[in-house]
Amino acid sequence: MTIDYDVVIIGGSLAGRYAALTASQLRAKVALVEPITNGAFTKVNAPLEFIYHHALNHTSNLSKQIGDAALFGFHTSCASTLEKCKISVDTPQTMLYAHSIVSNLQEQNSLAVLAAQGVDVIVGNGQFQSSPHLSFAVDTRLLHARTYLLATGSSPAIPEIEGLQKTGFLTIPQVWQSLSSSTSPKQWVILGGVPQSIELAQTLARFGYDVTLIIEHPNLVPNIDSEMAQLLCSLLEAEGVRVFIKTSITHVRRIEDKKWLQVGDKAIETDEIVVATAQQPNIQSLNLAAVDVKWNQRRLLVNEKLQTTNPRIWACGDVIGGFELANIANYEARIALQNALFFPRLKVNYRHIPWAVFTNPMFAQVGLTEAQAKHQYSPDEVMVLQQFFKTLFAAQIQDETTGLCKLIVLRNGEILGASILGAQATELINVIAMAIAQTRKVNSLADLAPLCPSFSEIFEQIIQTWKQQKLNGNIAWQDCLESFFQFRRNWNF
């Protein structure tokens, strides 16, 4: 049997295209199989749908800033200089702006660009075959490779709620299509606590829609710091989002032109329901059972090297579970490719990989939360350092004083994790992520000399908090310092 490729990537996601380009740059011979859905190959629309949120969020931020213009001394048509202006936003026009961004990114991530970089692009649906040799069949063509990488992404998993299917609902990708219409729904109920549902709830509320967010699990988002979750929940409620935590829906029904949900002991009326509870892997047609690849309802089963139960097949991205976040998927793609193309020695380590909820203000987190750290280590060994954004000059100048930076460290200075809610949180978290990745201790942040004013000054303030806590907990060192300076004051030059 002749090996045609070093790796065949079964795509359908941005991570798949990223992996194909990376493999080509490593001079490997690579094929990318792009599936066909409803008679057309999968455009990058699906993976790039998060752009719609960012575009709408940017527009809502601009409208807020314009509305606050009087507070900064701008002459406006407001009744008084201290009154916020009322700004109306044309949602369909904003969607055209988002469409243009997606179109540009589609060009940058197009199959033609990948083909020009040396990737053998194959459009079509296929499945694995085990006999006589492991291969991937697309139509009548058999692709033989030394290794295979699954990057097929995932699709919304629909919860089993009585009446939901009959009543009808939207998934998050379909929301953006609905908002492009001039007759989009006015009342929205969003089911599920994932980053995308939180972002969508705030964005819709800022555009004047009536929004209810219903989450079944005890926290706003799984694995989020509990204090930050409460702050984020309060921010959503302050913007008009009704939030139900740890609440289940018993049934859904349609009464005339409205949809009704039974939420605990309350009945909620809405125009439209959005389902964002969980994801399921796109693997139904791949014939994985024939090649001994195991999975469950929510994810493909992989080891810490991202190898499936078939040692020649690897996987990355949300097909193996977790949030739909591009940075995590690309990190996994790099690990999986290195292991598939060379020697399988690299292991994933999510401790230094940040994730975020792109609300306004933003939330970002890396490593362990306070609760996780105190469960994993002795509570006496864990120190919590926190600083509010209102102490920063940059935050005051830009009127972005809502925010909190929380750093979790051991008494020896090892950084375990961080949670940041505030302006520039997604940029600030990268500094902590790099420190964790390089196993630097918290006092290494003292080497920074951040520009003033800037949001990075919060690290300088965190270090001062760290030093103060260390000093307060060491009575002997306090006595030593006092004796030293008393000696110096009494010294005769």
Q: Where are the domains of the chain?
A: 5-47+109-156+280-348, 50-97, 160-276, 352-476
Residue 275 burial (10 A CB sphere; 0-12, 13-18, 19+): buried
Give the pLDDT band (50/70/90) at residue 477. Answer: confident
User: What's the mean pLDDT in 440-463?
Assistant: 89
Which residue, among 226, 260, 228, has the nearest Cα to 246 in the 3D structure? 226
Please list the residues that pair with 420 across neighbouring strands. 364, 405
What is the second-level CATH architecture of the domain 5-47+109-156+280-348? 3-Layer(bba) Sandwich (3.50)
Phi-psi sector, 424: left (phi>0), alpha (psi -120 to 50), beta: left
CATH number of 160-276, picked from 3.30.1490.70, 3.50.50.60, 3.20.20.80, 3.40.50.150: 3.50.50.60
Q: Which CATH class is domain 352-476?
A: alpha beta
The model's confidence at residue 467, banded by pLDDT at 50, 70 and 90, is confident
Average pLDDT for 470-481? 85
Q: Are 213 and 241 in contact (CB under 8 A)?
A: yes
> Looking at per-residue confidence, does 471 or 414 come out higher?
414
Kindly tell me if the per-residue pLDDT of 287 is higher than 70: yes
pLDDT score at 44:
41
Is the pLDDT score of 83 beyond 70?
no
Q: Which two tokens stand for residue 426?
A: 């997604």
Query: Which residues have CB under 8 Å from 438's CB, separation 6+?
Result: none
Q: Cα(82)–Cα(92) distance, rounded to whole angstroms?
A: 31
403 is in an annotated binding site: no
| Pairwise CA distance, residues 463 & 457, whole Å | 10
Annotated binding-site residue? 185: no
Helices (H), 6-49: 14-25
Q: Say whether 430 sits in a helix, a strand or coil.
A: helix
The answer to whether residues 357 and 175 touch, using CB atoms and an 8 Å cutoff, is no
30: DSSP letter: E
Residue 381, annotated as binding a ligand = no
The answer to the question of whether 197 is labelled as a binding residue is yes
Residue 318 labeled ligand binder = yes
- Would you say 55 and 97 are in contact if contact means Cβ atoms under 8 Å apart? yes
Q: How far apart are CA 224 and CA 234, in angstroms?
A: 15
pLDDT at 42 over 70: no
Is residue 359 part of an annotated ligand binding site?
A: no
**What is the pLDDT, as a whole number, of residue 228?**
95
Residues counted in the chain: 493
Mean pLDDT of 33-48: 61
Confidence of residue 31 (pLDDT cuts 50, 70, 90): very high
Q: Would the annotation count 152 as a binding residue?
A: yes
Residue carrying structure tokens 């090892």: 414
Rounded to an integer, what distance in angstroms lies between the CA atom of residue 401 and that of residue 358? Answer: 17
The response to whether 193 counts as a known ligand-binding position is yes
The Cα 430–Cα 436 span in angstroms is 10
The residues facing 406 across adjacent strands are: 386, 419
The reply, when asked if residue 270 is annotated as ligand binding, is no
Are 5-47+109-156+280-348 and 160-276 in the same CATH fold?
Answer: yes
Residue 162 per-residue DSSP state: B
H-assigned helices in 295-364: 326-341
At residue 45 the predicted structure's pLDDT band, cuts being 50, 70 and 90, is very low
Closest by CA to 428, choosing from 481, 468, 476, 392, is 392
Q: Which two tokens stand for residue 344?
A: 């399988």
Interior CA angle at 66 toward 62 and 69, to 5°?
A: 140
Q: pTM score, two decimals?
A: 0.88
One-letter amino acid of 267: A
194 is in an annotated binding site: yes
Lowest mean pLDDT among 76-85, 106-115, 333-342: 76-85
Residue 309's pLDDT is 96
Q: Across 300-381, where does the E strand assignment appear?
A: 313-315, 355-357, 362-367
> Annotation-wise, does 195 bind a ligand?
yes
Is residue 39's pLDDT more than 70? no
Q: Cα 364 to the chain's mean position, in Å?
A: 9
Place of tokens 């967010």: 213
Token pair of 231 as six digits? 């702050």
Distance CA 120, CA 31 (A): 4
Backbone phi, psi, residue 19, to 5°? -65, -40
Enumerate residues 6+ apart whose C-beta is below 8 A from 429: 354, 356, 364, 365, 366, 418, 420
Let me know: does 282 contact 153? Beta carbons within 8 Å: yes
